[in-house]
Structure 1
Amino acid sequence: MKHAMIFVNLPVADLAASRAFFEALGYTFDERFSDENAAGLLLGDTQVAMLLRRDFYQTFVPDKQVADARSASEVLVCLSAESRDEVDALADGAVAAGASAGRTEDHGFMYGRSFDDLDGHTWEIMWMDPAAVEAGPEAYAAGQS
């Protein structure tokens, strides 16, 4: 089955602050999916992160506790980048905008950094050599040995 779009829903404590944070990183929002309860963060042509006020998010899961991403993890959002420099620019920009720096992984053909946003959601930014994408990371790495 193939899906036309993906919407990742994330609870946030302060919708305006979260929106400003991602705008500081150069992201834009789809106003068709934004109102006083939600902001549709555009991650690509068919990828949207829905930043939802915590109380509004709760309405979608009334019988479950909404996780606090500062103390528990339920999802890692990983975004691809065009280059190692783009990985660094986005991760550095996030930290400058108030994020907490996460880990760095450098395997030569694959490079990534992560950060936790204002609500503690972990975002990973990753670049992979196009040849490794084509072959698959493990096969590419094995061929480089």
Structure 2
Amino acid sequence: MSRMIFVNLPVENLDRSKRFYEAIGARNEPKFTNEAAAMMVLSDTISLMLLTKPFYATFTSKRIADAHSSSQVLLCLSCESPAEVDQLVEAASANGGKADPGPKQDIGGMMYGRSFEDPDGHHWEPMWMDPQMAEAGAHPVESATAVSN
């Protein structure tokens, strides 16, 4: 059985966040959606649980971070091509997100990545990696130089 990951994200406005994630390709799973939470399916093994901040607070005694002003996690998502990376960032930007809060990464045709923030400031990094490079591992990257824009 493949492991699944459920990324729980605190959100200010559940409907706005659902619309945003649907616009970038996620599918809402109504069986696990109500007025306090929404399950957004990214793939067979990755789902987002969008939780209103009051509901999110029931799972932790810690202060909920403001993702607009602090960073706790960078969420990297694989893409099939550099064009898909660009399409995802463009869709995020056109639907209430912020394009490229981090540097663009272009490592000699071996890796390509950009970033976006959702409306709540959660930082995503869609990336593509050449399949041969993925097979070889990290060692070729050590001699490559990342170009930031």
TM-score, normalization: structure 2?
Answer: 0.88
Give the letter for the 1:131 counterpart. Answer: Q
1:105 is matched with 105
Shift of 1:139: 3.5
How do residues 45-84 of structure 1 correspond to structure 2 at under 5 angstroms?
A: 45-61=44-60, 63-84=61-82
Shift of 1:3: 6.3
TM-score, normalization: structure 1?
Answer: 0.90
Give the letter for the 2:44 counterpart. Answer: D
2:90 is matched with 92
Give the letter for the 1:12 counterpart. Answer: V
Shift of 1:25: 1.6
Deviations 1:88-130 (A, max 9, x none): 0010111111111123111120000001110000010000000
Q: Check whether the contact 2:25–2:42 (CA below 8 A) recurs between aligned residues.
A: no
Task: Check 1:80–1:44 CA distance in 2 against 1; reply closer, same or farther (3 A cut).
Answer: same
Q: Check whether the contact 2:114–2:125 (CA below 8 A) recurs between aligned residues.
A: yes
Unaligned residue ranges in structure 1 (runs of 5+): none
Unaligned residue ranges in structure 2 (runs of 5+): 145-149
Superposition misfits of 4+ residues, deviation over 2 angstroms: 137-143
SS of 2:115's partner is: strand
What's the % identity of the aligned pairs?
50
Report the RMSD for the aligned CA atoms in angstroms.
1.7
1:10 is matched with 9
